[in-house]
């Protein structure tokens, strides 16, 4: 790392010393853009990096609600409005007990670069709460969402900041949030939230977009390396929104998905995952993945008992981590490589630890980085916003075709940047360089703001 990068990283470490995920996300970007910084010594005087790593605004707020037993519960809400250089702040809301400022900032920081890669006019933001939707009644979820939005509404708007879903925030939560926003504002501002239900302004193919986009990116990356998906065995961690639709598209393109997971464990189904059964358990019944092994014969269930999730010990050609951050440890990376994995596609945000990513790259494994590979979700959210503005809806096929085109273009940008800076096939660096150079240009053009 050159001296400017080192100086900024040290400052980030000192100022945010209790935010390990945020430091990890910054380090991951800074460690890949040295050649860009060398080429542009003027960036230091303009404090491009210092401005990039400081959120424009970080809001935290109290979220009280009364549970079904009549007890008052208080959670903490967040919205990080990180960067509005190229469009309104845009990024999901996460409801999970692990949510804290570090996780919000790492997600918001990643989002800036991801959104820049889509080629669409969206800035970066993220939000959420340490509220745990698991085990709560619909009534409690609704009351929590209404309380959360009662505060959040003063900070967002369709041209200001546009939240969407993430872990723990799906169609049900977005519906309650939208209803409360509309009630307070007394106006239908369709584009203020994305991931909406189809009956009140959502986009066809938004639900499928992140998973489908991940697999389109994987197909492009394999194709550029004279490989393909057909007949390959695939591991997919998670069994939420991203994982389920990654599974669907991988199967449609001829791959065999042999394992999926949740936070408690994984199922290994040598015959290939029965997606209809998985959707029934996860989307309809909101049950545990262990149910899958109980209902289908010949399926092995392995419980997660440490940070090294058992799914990564299964032999397969391709791994798609689609659950959460840092779920692929160095040990897991070693097991995957030992078992002959050829490519990793990050569906979740920052699912591989820095050590795991470095190990994959060192071993010549193709890595599709989250910023690029899971950008299909936010890209389709931006397409949802344009449909809301047009007051006109596209068909599923039209949205899917746009998504596919965007993913192809994102792959090409990563490929081009990695080649231009002499880091051929390192798409992690390619994604960071392509997005960083675009943002730096916009920052210089807009002056010191
Ligand atoms: P969901 O809430 O729909 O699903 C999350 C899945 O991950 C569940 O199966 C959950 O299991 C599992 N999971 C959560 N925490 C852990 C953990 N600590 N260890 C193992 N498994 C865990 O979320 P999404 O599918 O929407 O999001 C998944 C990832 O994709 C996140 O990193 C998110 O930021 C990212 N992403 C999502 C986008 C979207 O459009 N939804 C867009 C871009 C990125 P359990 O039910 O047991 O908790």
Question: Cα of 36 to ligand 1 centre, how many Å?
Answer: 33
Question: Cα of 402 to ligand 1 centre, how many Å?
Answer: 24
| Nearest alpha carbon to residue 235 among 260, 269, 212, 271 | 260
pLDDT of residue 367: 98
Is 195 near ligand 1, meaning CB less than 6 Å away? Answer: no
Q: In what side-by-side order are the strands of the sheet with 161-164?
A: 57-66, 72-83, 124-129, 89-95, 161-164
Strands (E), 278-433: 300-303, 318-321, 343-345, 366-368
| Nearest alpha carbon to residue 156 among 91, 74, 65, 85 | 91
* CA 63/CA 179 separation, integer angstroms: 17
Lookup: tokens for 423 = 């880091």
Question: Cα of 393 to ligand 1 centre, how many Å?
Answer: 28
User: In the annotation, is 207 catalytic?
Assistant: no
Is 348 near ligand 1, meaning CB less than 6 Å away? Answer: yes
Residue nearest to atom 21 of ligand 1 (CA): 263
Q: Among 129, 273, 323, which residue has the most ligand 1 atoms within 8 Å of its CB, making it the best to mutate?
A: 323
Residue nearest to atom 29 of ligand 1 (CA): 348
pLDDT of residue 260: 98
pLDDT of residue 1: 85
Question: Cα of 415 to ligand 1 centre, how many Å?
Answer: 27
Is 166 near ligand 1, meaning CB less than 6 Å away? Answer: yes
Residues 90, 114, 126, 256: which is the catalytic one? 126
| Atom of ligand 1 minimally distant from the CA of 370 | 44
* CA 447/CA 444 separation, integer angstroms: 5
Per-residue pLDDT of the chain (449 residues; tens, 9 = 90+): 899 999 999 999 999 999 999 999 999 999 999 999 999 999 999 999 999 999 999 999 999 999 999 999 999 999 999 999 999 999 999 999 999 999 999 999 999 999 999 999 999 999 999 999 999 999 999 999 999 999 999 999 999 999 999 999 999 999 999 999 999 999 999 999 999 999 999 999 999 999 999 999 999 999 999 999 999 999 999 999 999 999 999 999 999 999 999 999 999 999 999 999 999 999 999 999 999 999 999 999 999 999 999 999 999 999 999 999 999 999 999 999 999 999 999 999 999 999 999 999 999 999 999 999 999 999 999 999 999 999 999 999 999 999 999 999 999 999 999 999 999 999 999 999 999 999 999 999 999 99
Is 210 near ligand 1, meaning CB less than 6 Å away? Answer: yes
- β-partners of residue 260 are 267
Question: Cα of 1 to ligand 1 centre, how many Å?
Answer: 33
Q: Tally Cβ neighbours within 10 Å of residue 31.
A: 16
Question: Cα of 205 to ligand 1 centre, how many Å?
Answer: 18
Is 173 near ligand 1, meaning CB less than 6 Å away? Answer: no
Is 111 near ligand 1, meaning CB less than 6 Å away? Answer: no
Is 110 near ligand 1, meaning CB less than 6 Å away? Answer: no
Is 374 near ligand 1, meaning CB less than 6 Å away? Answer: yes
Residue nearest to atom 44 of ligand 1 (CA): 348
C-alpha distances in Å from residue 443, one per residue of 84, 89, 291, 430: 10, 15, 51, 20
Is 180 near ligand 1, meaning CB less than 6 Å away? Answer: no
């Amino acid at each position: 790392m050159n001296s400017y990068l080192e100086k900024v990283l040290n400052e980030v470490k000192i100022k945010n010393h209790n935010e390990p995920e945020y430091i990890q996300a910054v380090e991951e970007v800074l460690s890949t853009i040295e050649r860009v910084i060398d080429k542009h010594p003027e960036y230091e005087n303009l404090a491009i990096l210092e401005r990039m790593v400081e959120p424009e605004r970080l809001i935290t707020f109290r979220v009280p609600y009364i549970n079904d037993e009549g007890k008052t519960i208080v959670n903490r809400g967040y919205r990080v409005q990180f960067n509005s250089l190229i469009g309104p702040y845009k990024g999901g809301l996460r409801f999970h007990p692990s949510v804290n400022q570090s996780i919000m900032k790492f997600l918001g920081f990643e989002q800036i670069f991801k959104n820049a890669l889509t080629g669409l006019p969206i800035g970066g933001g993220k939000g959420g709460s340490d509220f745990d939707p698991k085990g709560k009644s619909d009534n409690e979820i609704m009351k929590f969402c209404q309380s959360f939005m009662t505060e959040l509404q003063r900070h967002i708007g369709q041209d200001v900041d546009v939240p969407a879903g993430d872990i723990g925030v799906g169609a049900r939560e977005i519906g309650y949030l939208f209803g409360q926003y509309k009630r307070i504002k007394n106006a239908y501002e369709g584009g203020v939230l994305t991931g909406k239900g189809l009956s009140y302004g959502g986009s066809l193919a938004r639900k499928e977009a992140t998973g489908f986009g991940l697999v389109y990116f994987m197909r492009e990356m394999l194709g550029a390396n004279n490989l393909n998906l057909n007949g390959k065995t695939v591991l997919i961690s998670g069994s939420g929104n991203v994982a389920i639709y990654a599974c669907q598209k991988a199967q449609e393109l001829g791959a065999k998905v042999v394992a999926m997971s949740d936070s408690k464990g994984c199922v290994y189904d040598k015959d290939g995952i029965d997606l209809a059964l998985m959707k029934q358990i996860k989307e309809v019944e909101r049950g545990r993945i262990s149910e899958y092994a109980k209902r289908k014969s010949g399926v092995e269930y392995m419980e997660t008992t440490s940070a090294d999730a058992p799914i990564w010990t299964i032999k397969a050609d391709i791994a798609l981590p689609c659950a959460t951050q840092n779920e692929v440890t160095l040990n897991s990376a070693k097991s995957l490589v030992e078992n002959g994995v050829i490519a990793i596609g990050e569906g979740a945000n920052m699912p591989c630890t820095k050590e795991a990513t470095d190990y994959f790259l060192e071993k010549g494994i193709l890595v599709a980085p989250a910023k690029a590979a899971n950008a299909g979700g936010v890209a389709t959210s931006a397409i949802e916003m344009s449909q809301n503005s047009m007051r006109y809806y596209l068909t599923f096929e039209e949205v899917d075709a746009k998504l596919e085109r965007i993913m192809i273009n994102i792959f090409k940008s990563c490929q081009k940047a990695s080649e231009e800076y002499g880091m051929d096939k390192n798409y992690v660096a390619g994604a960071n360089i392509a997005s960083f150079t675009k943002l730096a240009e916009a920052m210089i053009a807009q002056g010191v703001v």
